[in-house]
Structure 1
């Protein structure tokens, strides 16, 4: 019977756990406040970026084509993928935009008939 009797020890344990959680939560807020106070201040309106004198910058549309893959001579060892990195592109001489083939939607599962 004594084991089944309610004890104040369980209530005290739950109270101490709740207080520990509240202390952790308060410590988190305190630490966040300290970190924010150590950050640099926000820029003032006069420090904000301004447009260049010639106005906003517009996008440039151009076709790009890759540089050619280096050719190896017969009998030399093949190039590894590590030797083919940082391939550059150049402006294409063609000004026409590449289009999808006729009758194709250009995307997988787009519902078109596909290239026949």
Structure 2
């Protein structure tokens, strides 16, 4: 059987171990926070400087630029017996098109169906 003195020594040893682990945890946490702060400072120092107010973008003289909507007519597809690759076709993007007659946006016909499965009777 243990006497009171041995029990006190055992408890004191466990207490010292617990305090040591808490202190070691605090030291590790402090090191991690310090490394994060140093790393973020280094990243901030390597960033380019912020633009001054006189270097900020300005609105154009004519006001804000607006969207232009127009109908474009495509170029005719060349007829050939051989297969053409994209770089052999003339006009990429809008370069091969011309402005066409103005058309309104297509709208749903009155009484026409909505999306697929909408439950409407559809156009008959």
The TM-score, its normalising length taken from structure 1, stands at: 0.59
What's the secondary structure of 1:10's corresponding residue? helix
Match of 2:58 in 1: 50
Match of 1:113 in 2: 120
Give structure 1 regions of 4+ aligned residues with deviation exceeding 3 angstroms.
63-73, 87-94, 103-109
Q: C-alpha displacement at 1:93, in angstroms?
A: 3.8
TM-score, normalised via structure 2 length: 0.56
Query: What count of residue pairs does the alignment treat as equivalent?
Result: 107
1:64 and 1:92 in contact (8 A); partners too: yes
Describe the SS at the equivalent of 1:54: coil
In structure 2, which of residues 22, 25, 31 is the aligned counterpart of residue 17 of structure 1? 25
Deviations 1:9-32 (CA, angstroms, capped at 9, x unpaired): 133123212221221122112211
Which protein has the bigger helix share? 2
Other-structure match for 2:105: 97
Q: What does the per-residue CA deviation read over 1:47-101, in whole Å, with 9 as the maximum and x for residues that have no partner?
A: 111122333211112245777888886xx89xxxxx78xx846555451111134
What CA distance in whole angstroms lies between the structure 1 residues aligned with 2:102 and 2:67?
Answer: 19
**Residues of 2 paired with 1:113 and 1:58: CA distance?**
38
Uncovered stretches (5+) of structure 2, i.e. residues with no partner: 87-91
